[in-house]
A and B are shown apart, each in its own frame.
Chain A
Amino acid sequence: MTNRYFSINKSMALGLVLLLFATSCRKEPLEIQNPNTRACNSYSEQFEAIWQGIDHTYTLWSHDTINWDARYVKYKPIFESFDQNGVDSATYVNTWKEFTYGFIDHHMAIVLWNPVHKFLVGISPSRNDYGHPSGYKEQVDALKLQPGISNLVEYNGSNSKYTKSIFCLLPGKTADKHIAYLRFSDFELGSTDSIPNEVLLPFKAFYGDSIGLGILNGAADRADVESIIIDLRANPGGSIININHLILSLAQNPYHYGYSRYKEGLGRLDYTGWMPVQFPLPKYHLSSPKPIVVLADINSASCAEMSTQILRDAMGATVIGERTMGATCSLLPSTDVAFDLFYSGCFGDYKIYKEKKPTHPDQFAYYVYSSTYDIVLKDYTSLEGKGVQPDIEVLFDLNSLNAGRDNQLDRALQFLRTGN
Chain B
Amino acid sequence: MKKQHLSALLLASFLLLMPLALQAQEAAATDQEAPAATQPSKHFSFGVLGGLDRNYHIIDMSYMDAYSYTPFAPGKSYGLQLGYSPWKWLTFRLDGVMLDKNYYRDHTLTNYGGFYPDTTTNQYLNVPLVVMLNVGNTVRLHLFGGVYGGYWLSSHRKGRTMAVFGSPEYDVDVDLDSPLSQRRDNRKDFGYTYGAGLSAIFAKMIELGVEIRWYYGIYDIQKEYMTNLNPRYNTTMVLQAGLNFWL
Contact = CB atoms under 8 A, between A and B. Distances in A.
A122 B214 CA distance: 54
Contacts of A270: 184
A340 B66 contact: yes
A273 B162 contact: no
Given A23-B5, A27-B231, A69-B226, A15 B166 contact: no
Given A11-B15, A26-B218, A267-B222, A272 B109 contact: no
Interface stretch (B17-25, B33-41, B205-213): B17-25
A7 B157 contact: no
Contacts of B174: 273
B61 A266 contact: yes
Contacts of A28: 231
Contact of B165 (A22, A33, A278, A342): A278
B228 A30 contact: yes
Residue of B23, B172, B180, B230 ringed by the most chain A CB atoms within 10 A: B230
B12 A18 contact: yes
B222 A19 contact: no
A8 B109 CA distance: 55
Nearest to B18: A11
A8 B20 contact: yes
Contacts of A268: 225-226
Contact of A273 (B23, B61, B161, B231): B161
Contacts of A273: 157, 161, 170, 172, 174
B107 interface: yes
A72 B228 CA distance: 11
B211 to A, nearest CB: 20
Report whether over half of chain B's contact residues are helix, strand or loop; otherwise say mixed.
mixed
B166 A277 contact: yes
Interface string A1-23: 00010011011101110110011
B63 A341 contact: no
Interface string B161-190: 111111110101010000010011000000
Contacts of A26: 4, 58, 218, 231, 233
A74 to B, nearest CB: 13
Contacts of A269: 180, 183-184, 225
Interface in A41-78: 52, 55-56, 62, 68-69, 72
A4 B4 CA distance: 32
A273 B116 CA distance: 13
A403 interface: no
Contacts of B215: none
B32 interface: no
B23 A7 contact: yes
Given A34-B63, A72-B227, A341 B112 contact: yes
A29 B64 CA distance: 14
A275 interface: yes
How extensive is the interface on chain B, given as a class?
35 or more
Given A7-B19, A11-B19, A269-B184, A276 B166 contact: yes
Report whether over half of chain A's contact residues are helix, strand or loop; otherwise say mixed.
mixed
A32 B15 contact: no
B192 interface: yes
B9 interface: yes
B6 to A, nearest CB: 10
B19 A8 contact: yes
A55 B226 CA distance: 9
B246 interface: no
Contacts of B192: 22
Contact of A260 (B15, B164, B170): B164
A11 B107 CA distance: 47
Nearest to B233: A26
A7 B111 CA distance: 61
Nearest to B167: A276
A141 interface: no
Interface in B12-61: 12-13, 15-16, 18-20, 23, 58-61
A14 B16 CA distance: 8
A27 B162 CA distance: 31
Given A266-B62, A275-B166, A373-B164, A340 B111 contact: yes
Residue of B12, B60, B162, B184 ringed by the most chain A CB atoms within 10 A: B12
A264 interface: yes
A223 interface: no
Nearest to A22: B8
B147 to A, nearest CB: 11
A350 interface: no
B184 A22 contact: no
B237 interface: no
A26 to B, nearest CB: 6
A30 B220 CA distance: 14
8 smallest CB-CB distances across A and B, nearest first, come from: A22-B8, A29-B60, A19-B12, A11-B19, A34-B63, A15-B15, A15-B16, A25-B218
26 contacts: A4-B23, A7-B23, A8-B20, A11-B19, A12-B16, A14-B15, A22-B8, A23-B4, A26-B218, A30-B229, A33-B63, A52-B228, A62-B183, A68-B226, A69-B226, A265-B59, A265-B64, A266-B61, A267-B184, A267-B229, A269-B180, A272-B161, A275-B165, A278-B165, A340-B109, A373-B164
Given A265-B64, A268-B225, A277-B166, 13 more contacts: A4-B23, A18-B12, A18-B15, A23-B8, A27-B231, A34-B63, A56-B228, A72-B227, A264-B67, A266-B229, A269-B183, A272-B161, A275-B164
Interface of B: 4-5, 7-9, 11-13, 15-16, 18-20, 23, 58-64, 66-67, 107, 109, 111-112, 157, 161-168, 170, 172, 174, 180, 183-184, 192, 216, 218, 220, 222, 225-231, 233
